[in-house]
Amino acid sequence: MSTSTHDPQALLRRLEWTVLKRLDGLLHGDYRSLFRGFGLDLADLREYQFNDDVRHIDWNVTARMQTPYVREFHEDREVCAWFIVDLSASVAFGSGKTGKRDIATDFVAIMARLLARHGNAVGLISHDGTANTLLPPRTGRRHLLQLISQLQKAQGERAGGQMTDLSVPLQAGWNAISRRSVVFVVSDFFSAPGWAEPLARLARRHDVVAVRVHDPLESSLPDLGLVTIQDAETGEQLLLDTHDRKIRDRFAQLASEREETLRRLLGQAGVDAMEVSTQDDLAETLLRFSALRQLRSRIAAGSPIGAHLIVRSGLAA
């Protein structure tokens, strides 16, 4: 899935043949199953009648009135989608043929194509570690190719010896996205602290999905002898003896602790999350996510308590 050719047209054609056709066959054209909370605007409340869908019961009103009330909706099929994409230096990493930047670009391209072919507008906020680039939401294939081109040409930069601050593009999203939208935040989440609150604030206004791009080598070190590890953003280097089992175990422990912290912060922010690994099949990941979103929506619709899900390497939490 390398994007090294920097040819948006070629990339899009490849994804249409290898991913989109598979999604069409398995989703049966129901692209809306990838999203929740869209296409339905609350119109009115009325008393429950026989044969009403119990999932539309408003439990808060029912408790106050002491009789069942249901929500009525107007349908709006148009979806406005934004992609907030972290293209900082750490996203350039990859231990195999496919890097994190490649898989992030592929994800955004296929999701944007899926939306755009139904006439929905897609917009982009990309962040290279120091500055944001914004493409307002538009429709059409030409705009889609422009969006892909922006992802391909952006080069992650070291942020003056500091880690990327993911709160910067998240704040840009808060300022730029006024209409209720579905927002995909695509990042490896290697960031300075402080991004969780801007993410939660964004999620209170929009349907936010955190898409974490990940490489397996970031979770465990193989036995390679003496190796020099360099932080892609700060430039800091460290010499490690990977023959030492204690060092490998400590590396895995720190990675596991970071995973738990990340899952906790995403849960507190109230967003759905999916992990896209450089070794995963993108179509299969999207299908798992779609199926679990539908299941979660059915469960949450009948309860006053919300729910969120995390899809990671084929598993859900």
The ranges of the chain annotated as CATH 3.40.50.410 are 8-32+78-214+255-316
Cα separation of 186 and 191, whole Å? 13
Q: How much is the pLDDT for 61?
A: 82
pTM, rounded to two decimals = 0.80
Q: What is the pLDDT of residue 40?
A: 46
% of the chain beyond a pLDDT of 70:
79
- 47-56, 77-86, 125-134, 192-201: least confidently modelled range: 47-56
Q: What is the assigned CATH class of domain 8-32+78-214+255-316?
A: alpha beta
Percent of the chain beyond pLDDT 90? 41
Dist. CA 149–CA 197, nearest whole Å: 31
Q: To the nearest whole number, what is the mean pLDDT of the chain?
A: 82
